[in-house]
A and B are shown apart, each in its own frame.
Chain A
Amino acid sequence: MELVLELRGLVKEFPGQRAVDGVSLSLARGGFYSLLGPSGCGKTTTLRMIGGFENPDAGEVVLAGNVVNGLKPYQRDVSTVFQSYALFPHLTALRNVEFGLRERGLKDCTARAMRALEMVRLADKRDRRPSELSGGEKQRVALARSLVLEPKLLLLDEPLAALDPKLRREMRAELKAMQRKTGITFLLVTHDQEEALSLSDYVAVMNKGRIEQFGTPEEVYLRPATKFVAGFLGTMNWFGKTGVRPESTRLSRTGEGLAAKVESSLFLGNCINVNVVLEDGSRVVAAMGLEHNNFHEGEAVWLHWLPSDELHFQ
C-alpha cells in the first residue's frame, strides 16, 4: 500500500499551550480520511502544518516519501480548501480556478479550468465573482480550484461548516462522489462527528493535541478506545466505568434492572428519546422505537441492556 502522507511525532507549541502534542499518522493513496475532534484539539494546526502554513516544532511531515518540513506552501504538492473558501474576490469563478494552473505556467489553463467547473456543475457561472455566488457554489468553486491541480493530497478545513444543514447534507454526498471520481486522497478536518463518520474510510479522533484513536468509522463508534472517544462520538450513558449507548439502553415496567423515573419523552421523528433519572440523581437517555411513545412523566421504569452492548474503560 502506497503512503501519500506520513506524520511522525508532530509537535507545535503556541505561547502558553501545546496545540499539537506528538501526532503520528499514515494515509494510504486514494482514501478519504478525517481528523475529528472538538474545537481547540489541534486538528486545524495539524492540517496547517501539512499545508505548509505552520512549521512544526518537532517531528516530520512526509509527503509521498519526501520530508517536506521547511518547504513553503507553493513548493508542496498538496492543496487546501479553506473554511472561508478564500476565493479571490477580484477574480471570476473561472479565473479563480485558473489561478494555480497559470502559476505553474501551463498552456491550456482555461480549457482545464472549464472542465473542472463542469465537474462541479458550475460551467454557467464561470463569469460570476465570488460575491455573486451562493455558499454552496463558492464551496464548489474552491473545490474545483484545488482539484484542478490534481494534488497528491487535498486538505479540507471544515469545508461544510458555513453551509445550512440541508445544503450540508447535499454537499456531503457530493464531496464523497468527487473523491471517488478523482481518486485523490482527501483529508477532512471537522468537529462534526456525523460528517466524519458518514464520509470517511478512516477517522482519526483528536483530543488535546493527540490522536486518541485511528480506525474505520465502525471501529471508532462501536469499539471506542478511550472514554473520550466514546463520549465524543454519539451519546453515552455512563454507569461508573461502563458505558452503554442510548440505542442499546432499554426501558421496561417489569421491575427488573435499575430503578429510574421518567423525566421527559422527546419525539425526534425517527425515534423517541426518553430521559430518565436514576435513584442516585444521574441522568440517562434511552433511544427507543416510535411504538414506545407511551412513557409518561414521573412514571417508574427499570433500565436494562445486553452485556454484549457494554463498553468498559479504565
Chain B
Amino acid sequence: MALFFLLPLVIVFACSLLTRGDYGGVEQPWTLESYLRILDPLYLAIFWRSLWIATVATALCSLLGFPLALFVARAGKRRNLYLQLVLLPFWTSFLVRTYAWLFILRDTGLVNTVLLRMHLIAGPLPLLYNDGAVLLGLVYNFLPFFVLPVYAALERLDPALAEAAADLGARPWPVLWRVIVPLSAPGIMAGAVLLFIPCLGAYLIPDLLGGGKTVMLGNLVQNQFTTARDWPFGSAASLVLMLLSALVLAGLVRSRVARELL
C-alpha cells in the first residue's frame, strides 16, 4: 500500500520542484517556481472558486441531508430500507449519474423540451455549463456522503433523550435545536468534511456539467498533466489541493467532536 500510494506522492513532490521539460516531462534544475506560479491571480482565482463552490455545495448538502438523515433514523423498522434507497444511486456508476444530468439539463434535454412544449419558454434555458449545474451535480453525487455519518450519529442517540426534552416542556423545534442537533454535531462535522474534500477535488462534474467555463482545481491539475504538459506546475497544484484537503481533515480530527466520534 505504501508502495502504491506514498511512493507516487513522493515522486509528485519531486516533480513539483523540477523544471518543465521541452517535450513535457521534467528536468533539472530544482526550483520553487511552480509554487510561485500558483500565486498568479489567474490561478488564485481558480483556488478561490474551488473553495467557494465546495463550501456552497457542503452547505446545501447539510441543509438537504440533515432532514433526510433524521427521517431515516426515525423510520423504525423500515430504516434499513430507506438507508438502502439513499445509498443505492450512490453505488451506481459515478459517470452515469453525472451523464444523467447532462441528459436532463442540456438545450434539447428533458427540462427544456417539456418547457418548450408547454410554451412556457420561447427558447431553451441555459441550464448547463454554469456554476449552478456544477453545484447540482456535486450535491446530487455527494449527498449520501453527508447523510450516512449523520444518520449513524442520530441512530445512536437514545430516543429517551428527545422524550425527556419534550417531557421537560420543549416543543419539537427546540428539541431539535437544543438536543438533537448538538448531539449529532460529530456526525454533521464528519459528514461536512467527507463532503467538502471530494467537492474540492472534483474533476468529472465540473468537466461535464460546467463545460469549459467552471474550471476547478481538479480540472487545472488534469489540464497541466495532459494538454499543457506542464508536470511541475500540475504537481504543485495537486499537492496544494491535497494539502487543503488534509488541513480540513486535520481540523476535524483535532476538534472535540472528533474525539467523541472515534
**When A and B assemble into the complex, do they touch directly, with CB atoms less than 8 Å apart?**
yes
User: A-side interface residues toward B, CB under 8 Å?
Assistant: 51-53, 72-74, 78-80, 82-84, 86-90, 99-100, 103-104, 145-146, 149
| Contact B164 A80, beta carbon cutoff 8 Å | yes
Q: Is the CB of B163 within 8 A of A53?
A: yes
Contact present for B160 and A82 (CB under 8 Å): yes
CA distance in complex: A82, B158 (Å):
11
Contacts of A80 in B (CB 8 A): 163-164, 167
Stretch with Cβ within 8 A of A (4 or more), from B44-52, B93-101, B177-185, B233-241: B177-185
Contact A99 B165 (CB under 8 A): yes
The interface-forming segment of B9-17, B33-41, B168-176, B189-197 is B168-176
A72 vs B169: C-alpha distance in the bound complex, in angstroms?
Answer: 9
Picked from B158, B160, B170, B185, the residue with its CB within 8 Å of the CB of A99 is: B170
Residue B261 at the A interface, CB < 8 A? Answer: no
CA distance A13 to B36 in the complex (A): 73
Chain B residues bordering chain A, tally (CB within 8 A): 18
Contact B183 A74 (CB under 8 A): no
Which residues on the B side are within 8 Å of A82 (C-beta)? 160, 163-164
Chain A residues with Cβ under 8 A from B115's Cβ? none
Name the distance in Å between B239's Cβ and chain A's nearest Cβ: 38
Cβ–Cβ contact A84 & B160, under 8 A: yes
Q: Is B166 an interface residue (CB 8 A)?
A: yes
A88-B179, A90-B182, A90-B183 given; A74·B158 CB < 8 A: no
Residues of A contacting B182 in the complex (Cβ-Cβ under 8 angstroms): 90
Cα-based distance from A148 to B119 in the complex (angstroms): 65
* Beta-carbon contact of A86 and B166 below 8 Å: no
Q: Smallest CB–CB gap between B179 and chain A, Å?
A: 6
Annotate B205-229 by CB proximity to A: 1 below 8 A, 0 otherwise.
0000000000000000000000000
Assess whether B170 is in contact with A74, with CB atoms less than 8 Å apart.
yes
- Give bound CA distance, A25 to B161, whole Å: 28
Please indicate the chain B residues that have their CB under 8 angstroms from the CB of A89 in the complex.
183
B97 to chain A, nearest CB (A): 37
CA distance A87 to B163 in the complex (A): 11
The CA-CA distance from A90 to B182 in the complex, in Å, is: 7
Interchain CA distance A87-B179 in the complex, whole Å: 10
A-B contact count (CB 8 A): 63
Complex: A90 Cα to B160 Cα, angstroms = 15
A-B contact pairs, 13 of them (CB 8 A): A51-B167, A53-B163, A53-B166, A72-B166, A73-B163, A74-B166, A82-B163, A82-B164, A88-B165, A88-B179, A99-B165, A149-B168, A149-B169
Given contacts A53-B167, A86-B158, A100-B168, 19 further A-B contacts (CB under 8 A): A51-B163, A52-B167, A53-B166, A72-B166, A73-B163, A74-B169, A78-B167, A80-B164, A80-B167, A82-B164, A84-B160, A89-B183, A90-B182, A90-B183, A103-B169, A103-B170, A103-B171, A146-B168, A149-B168
Q: Which residues of B contact A103 (CB under 8 A)?
A: 168-171, 174
A80–B163 Cα gap in the complex (Å)? 9
Q: Are B170 and A84 in contact (CB under 8 A)?
A: no
Contacts of B167 in A (CB 8 A): 51-53, 73-74, 78-80, 146
Report yes or no: B183 in contact with A88, Cβ–Cβ below 8 A. yes
Closest CB of chain A to B257's CB: distance in Å?
10
Instruction: Point out the residues of chain B lying under 8 angstroms from A99, CB to CB.
Output: 165, 168, 170, 178
- Give me the 9 closest cross-chain CB pairs, A-B, nearest first: A100-B168, A86-B164, A86-B160, A73-B166, A103-B169, A90-B182, A82-B160, A73-B167, A103-B170
B159 to chain A, nearest CB (A): 9
CB distance from B35 to the nearest CB of A (A): 43
Q: How far is the CA of A149 from the CA of B179 in the complex (A)?
A: 19
Give every chain A residue within 8 A of B168 (Cβ-Cβ): 74, 79, 99-100, 103, 145-146, 149
Which residues on A sit within 8 Å (CB–CB) of B185?
Answer: 90
Task: Closest A residue to B166 by CB, please name it.
Answer: A73
Which of chain B's residues has its CB closest to A157's CB?
B160
Q: In the docked arrangement, what's the CA distance between A42 and B165, Å?
A: 24
Contact B161 A86 (CB under 8 A): yes
Complexed CA–CA distance, A80 and B164 (Å): 7
Instruction: Using CB atoms, name the residue of chain B closest to A131.
Output: B260
